Each structure stands twice: as structure tokens, then as C-alpha cells.
Amino acid sequence: MSLVLTHAIILIVAVVGAFLLAKTLPPQYDIYVIALLFIVYYLQKHLFPEQKVYRLADSVIFTLIIMLIVFSSGGTESSLFFLTYFLIFALALLLEPIISITTTTAIVIVFLLTINLNTQDSIKSLIPLITLPFLVPFALFLGKEYRNNLLNSYEKMESFIFLSTVIKGHISKISEVTENFTGDQDLDHIKQITRRMEKLIEKYEESV
């Protein structure tokens, strides 16, 4: 199972889980569940070493909190429904951009199953859901741009490390030899260092 598919399934389960919690728990207990999720978020950030799994954990916690708030405060008719918009963009930044599509689909399906289409207010309830898919392309674009910027920053950091360690070290050796230059032996030493630098640069360029 691919990592993207795993993340998609976990986020779908989080959306469904938030809906089930909102429907089964007494209303006064929702705030306690949300507070507990914030405590878990705080503990993972301050008591454990930084790990890549934090992005997935953050996504799950944010999804549970936001969807619990929306579900328990009126669903599509909630004044806090706009929080789902922020959730879609946040997931595109935290995880793979494609996750915004699967999560949005899960949110729309869950809400459609809860809306009574035979009532006069059904159209009013559907309007917020209709807006969600239109946000997905923007979330995808933002997520892809964010990942490209991260990749470029990583490549620049690698180049900086290479220049500041390998090249700088060899230049220091050449400088040391030239300051104490005694003859052909030192000249051969400089040539060896230069050739070594050229090979290292060529090897680095091939790996980029």
C-alpha cells in the first residue's frame, strides 16, 4: 500500500470518526474530547523528539477537532463551517496535495448522508457543500508550490553544505601549501588537491 493511499484512508477514517463521535456523544462532552485532542497535540510536540510522522498526526488531530466542531455545531448550517475550508488547505500543506481531494470527497459524502433532501431547507444546506470542491484546485496548487519550494530549499542547503565543507577544506589546504611554497613538490600537491576538487564537483553535479 502506497504512502499516499495510507494517508488518504487514515484521513477518511478521521472524518467518519469525528461524525460518529459527534452523533453518539452527549453535546456537553464534545468540548472535553476537543480539549483532550489539544492535550495530545501539545504532548507530542513537547515531550517527544521531532519525527516525520508528526505531519500525519497533526493532520489527524486537526481533522478530528475541526470536524467535531462543525458536526456538533449544526453541520452545513453551522456558522463555523468555514473551518473546513482551512482544513482542506492545511492538509494540502501538511501531507500530499492529493489528500485534499480524498478528504473533501469524504466530507461531502458524510454531509450528504445526513441531509434530508425532502425538506425545504435542503438546498440551503447543500450550498456550503457545493463550495468545497471548488476550493480543491486551489489547495492542490498551493500544496504543490509549497512542496516545490521545500525541495528547492533542500537542494540549496545541500549545495551550501557541499561548498562550506568539501570545497572550503580543499581551498584551505591549497592556501596553506602556497603560503609555505618550497618548489615542485608543493606544486604537485596543489595539482592533486585541484584534481580531487574537480572529481568531487563532477560527482556532486552527477548526483543533482
At 42-69, the pLDDT tens digits run 887 777 655 556 788 888 888 999 999 8
Question: How far is it between the farthest Cα atoms of the chain?
Answer: 97
Q: Which of 42, 34, 94 is nearest to 69 (CA)?
A: 34
CA distance to 17, 67, 106, 149, per residue, from 61 (Å):
11, 10, 16, 25
Domain end marker among 121, 142, 163: 142
Lowest mean pLDDT among 25-29, 138-142, 185-189, 194-198: 185-189
Q: Are 60 and 81 part of one and the same domain?
A: yes
Per-residue model confidence (pLDDT) at position 98: 87
The total domain count for the chain is 2
Write down how long the chain is: 208
Q: Are 11 and 85 part of one and the same domain?
A: yes
Domain end marker among 120, 142, 164: 142
Per-residue model confidence (pLDDT) at position 141: 84
Alpha helices in 47-183 (DSSP H): 53-72, 83-94, 99-114, 122-162, 168-179
Enumerate long-range contacts of 104-110, CB under 8 Å, 24 or more apart.
104/132, 104/133, 104/135, 104/136, 106/11, 106/12, 106/15, 106/16, 107/15, 107/67, 107/132, 108/132, 108/133, 110/15, 110/16, 110/19
> pLDDT above 90 covers what percent of the chain?
7
Query: Can you read off the three cell numbers belonging to residue 181?
Result: 611554497
CA distance to 22, 86, 121, 139, 140, per residue, from 129 (Å):
19, 14, 14, 16, 18
Query: Can you read off the three cell numbers belonging to residue 6?
Result: 495510507
pTM for the full predicted model: 0.69
Q: Are 61 and 163 part of one and the same domain?
A: no
Q: Which domain holds residue 178?
A: 151-207
Q: Are 65 and 123 part of one and the same domain?
A: yes
Per-residue model confidence (pLDDT) at position 15: 92
